[in-house]
């Protein structure tokens, strides 16, 4: 199973326990930490509560040449059935929180969930994050993928974010040094996003609430929000119709492999109907790509990050 020798593994597991005071889990399936609910075990998953703990994990994994995977809300990933050999840094509830600063800005920690971030904005009568309504995920992942919906993006409202680089140095990245694209952020290799600051606009609370309601309704009408999924599975292609449209027109809605299926509601949602494996998901994904390529000569690129090892 694991490629690391038992002694070594025991040793670094012990060291992890010294670095992280919160919860650590060994050999736990990552399926539980992803919205698609597939994926095999990670050697270790840590739930840091402080920058010091994150710094310690970055240093230790670097020194031991252990692969480090930063996982946030797990809403945009497919973890393979063999799981992950190395340490997963789960940035979530234990490293969350957001607050209004300077009247119209919000400072948030990386593990802050979108619903919670949006709540801080709504309560403070601050507009600019309404597009996050019903979107799963958290701040760190949102920065790393430049989360967007309805023509708006994190990039529109971010003024800075902080990260620990691979040498565990804390760096503040100001607006003029950020580089974002469609579902893309340029980040230093091996870095861990720790927090972000958003510049928002004061607006009457009822206007904000109405916008939130409209976005939420529109998403509920078009997307299978109750199903286990990783959101849209393919990026929208540059010079062609949207992925969901192409998959729909190719007649692929409802197509299934094992427990994985193309949603009947939205063609670009691949859902776990229950009991899907990563292998089911990836086989279906490949099949859809092949058919769309043949039919429309369009190469669909996965929007999700596919990681880990095959079983």
Residues that are catalytic: 183, 232, 303
Residue 235 engages ligand EPU in binding (rule: CB under 6 A): yes
Residue 184 engages ligand EPU in binding (rule: CB under 6 A): no
- Among 187, 206, 228, 1, smallest CA distance to 122 is for 206
* Candidate list 40, 124, 195, 267; residue touching ligand EPU; CB under 6 A: 267
Residue 137 engages ligand EPU in binding (rule: CB under 6 A): no
Q: What is the CA radius of gyration of the chain?
A: 20
Q: Are 77 and 308 in contact (CB under 8 A)?
A: no
Residue 240 engages ligand EPU in binding (rule: CB under 6 A): no
Residue 203 engages ligand EPU in binding (rule: CB under 6 A): no
- Select 162 or 268, whichever has its Cβ closest to ligand EPU: 268
- Among 174, 146, 169, smallest CA distance to 54 is for 169
Residue 79 engages ligand EPU in binding (rule: CB under 6 A): no
Q: What separation in angstroms does the CA of 191 have from each of 151, 169, 266?
A: 28, 9, 34
Residue 149 beta carbon to ligand EPU: minimum distance, rounded to whole angstroms: 4
Q: Which stretch binds ligand EPU (CB under 6 A): 43-51, 234-242, 271-279, 285-293?
A: 234-242
Residue 64 beta carbon to ligand EPU: minimum distance, rounded to whole angstroms: 34
Burial of 190 per CB tally in 10 Å (0-12, 13-18, 19+): middle
* Candidate list 142, 244, 259, 302; residue touching ligand EPU; CB under 6 A: 244
Count CB neighbours of 59 within 10 A. Answer: 15
Helix (H) or strand (E) holding 164: strand 158-164
Q: Binders of ligand EPU: how many residues, by CB under 6 A?
A: 16
* Candidate list 98, 113, 236, 277; residue touching ligand EPU; CB under 6 A: 236
Please give the Cα distance from 113 to 220 (Å, whole number).
19
Q: Is 39 left (phi over 0), alpha (psi -120 to 50) or beta?
A: left
Rounded to 10°, the helix 51-63/6-19 angle is: 160
* Candidate list 51, 216, 245, 273; residue touching ligand EPU; CB under 6 A: 245
- Phi and psi at residue 307, in whole multiples of 5°? -145, 170
- Select 170 or 287, whichever has its Cβ closest to ligand EPU: 287
Residue 150 engages ligand EPU in binding (rule: CB under 6 A): yes
- Select 112 or 303, whichever has its Cβ closest to ligand EPU: 303
The footprint of ligand EPU (CB under 6 A) covers: 149-150, 222, 231-232, 235-236, 242-245, 248, 266-268, 303
């Amino acid at each position: 199973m694991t490629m690391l020798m038992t002694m070594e593994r025991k040793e670094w597991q012990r060291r992890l326990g010294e670095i992280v005071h919160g919860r650590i889990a060994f050999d736990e399936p990552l399926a539980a930490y992803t919205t698609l609910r597939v994926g095999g075990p990670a050697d270790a998953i840590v739930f840091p509560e402080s920058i010091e703990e994150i710094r310690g994990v970055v240093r230790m994994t670097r020194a031991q040449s252990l692969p480090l995977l930063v996982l946030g809300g797990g809403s945009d990933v497919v973890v393979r059935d063999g799981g992950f050999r190395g340490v997963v840094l789960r940035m979530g509830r234990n490293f969350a929180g957001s607050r209004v600063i300077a009247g119209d800005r919000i400072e948030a920690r990386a593990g802050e969930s979108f619903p919670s971030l949006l709540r801080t904005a709504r309560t403070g009568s601050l507009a600019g994050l309404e597009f996050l309504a019903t979107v799963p995920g958290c701040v760190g992942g949102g920065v790393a993928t430049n989360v967007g919906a309805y023509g708006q993006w994190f990039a529109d409202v971010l003024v800075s974010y902080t990260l620990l680089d691979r040498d565990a140095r804390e760096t503040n990245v100001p607006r003029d040094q950020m580089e974002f694209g469609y579902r893309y952020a340029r980040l230093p290799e091996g870095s861990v996003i720790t927090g972000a600051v958003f510049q928002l606009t004061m607006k009457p609370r009822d206007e904000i609430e109405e916008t939130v309601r409209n976005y939420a309704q529109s998403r509920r009408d078009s997307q299978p929000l109750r199903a286990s999924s990783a959101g849209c599975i393919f990026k929208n292609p540059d010079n062609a119709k949207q992925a969901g449209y192409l998959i729909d027109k190719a007649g692929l809605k409802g197509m299934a492999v094992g427990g994985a299926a193309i949603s009947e509601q939205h063609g670009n949602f691949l859902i776990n109907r229950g009991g899907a494996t990563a292998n089911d998901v990836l086989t279906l994904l490949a099949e859809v790509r092949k058919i769309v390529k043949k039919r429309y000569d369009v190469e669909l690129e996965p929007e999700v990050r596919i990681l880990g090892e095959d079983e």
